[in-house]
Structure 1
Amino acid sequence: MAVLKHLLTGIIVCLAIQTQAQIFKPKTNAEALYNQAVQETKQQHYDKAIALSKQALQEQPDFIDQQLLLARLYLLTKQYDLSRKYIKEVLAKNPKYRDVYFYAINVELSTGRYTEAECYADEALGYFPGSLDFMLKKLGILDAQHKVYRGNEMAETLMGKYPEDTTVRNAYIEHYLVSGKYYQQLGNTGMARQSYDKVLLVAPRNQEAREASLAAAIKGGSYQSALDQVNEALLAHPGNYDLLMRKLGILQDTHAYAEALSTLQEILRRYPGDAKARSLEASLKMEAAGYYANTDPYTLYEGVLEKNPGNREALDKLIGYSMARGAYREALAWINRGLKNSPNDARLLALKMDVLEGDRKYSAAAALAQVLYQRSPGPDLKERLVLLQTAGGRDYLAEQQYDLALASFESALKISPHDTTVLNLLASTYISQKNTTAALKVLDQGLNYYPGNASFLLKKSGVLADAGRYEEAAAIAAELATRFPGDQQLAANLAEMRLTAGRTLMRAEEYDLAKQQFEQVLAVAPSNRDALDYMINLQSATGKPDSALYYADKALGYYPGNRDFLLKKASVLQEQHDYNGAAAITGELMNRYPYTLKYKTAYLNSLTSAGTEYQRNQQPDSALAQFNQVLAINPKDSMALLYSINILNGQQRYDSALNYTAQGIKYYPGNDMFLLKRAITLENKKDFAAAALAADSVVKLQNNAANTDYRDYLQSKTLKNQFGLYFLHSSYDYSDDKYNIATIEYRRFIKRGSYAVQVNYAGRQTGNGLQGLAEMYYTHNPKLYSYGMVAYSNKTVFPQLRAAYSIFKTFKKEIEVELGGRYLNLDSTSSVSGVVSIAKPFGDFWVNLRGFVISEASKNYTAFNLTTRYYMNRRQDYLQVVAGLGTSPDDRSRLVNFPHLSGLLTHSIGAGYQKVLHYRTTLGLFGTWINQKITDTGFQNQYDIYVTLQRKF
Structure 2
Amino acid sequence: MTRIRKWQLLSILLVFLIFGVYNCVPPQAQANSDEINAMKEQKKEEILNKCKFRLSNGRQYMIQQAWADALRNYHEIISAGCAENFIDPLYKDMAQCYMKLGKPDSAAYFIDQGLSYDATNQHLLQLSSYYKERAGDYEGAVAIYQQYNALYLDDVEYLAKQANALDMLGLYDEELDIWEYIIDIDTENNDAINAIISVLGKMGRDPKAFYEKAWQNNTADASKALKYINALINDNDYKTAINVIRQTLQFNTQNITLIKKLAECYEYDAQPKEGLKVLENYARSNPRDINMQVDVTLKNVEFGNYEKAYNIISNAVKIAPQNKEVYFARAKVLEALAEITTLTKGKIDCNDKIVYHMAYEDYKKSKELGNFNAQFRIKYLYDNDLTIAKAKDRFLIGDANKVNANTYKPLGDSYSWITRTVSVK
Tell me if TM exceeds 0.5.
no
TM-score by length of 2: 0.41
TM-score by length of 1: 0.21
Instruction: Flag the structure with higher strand content.
Output: 1
Instruction: Flag the structure with higher helix content.
Output: 2
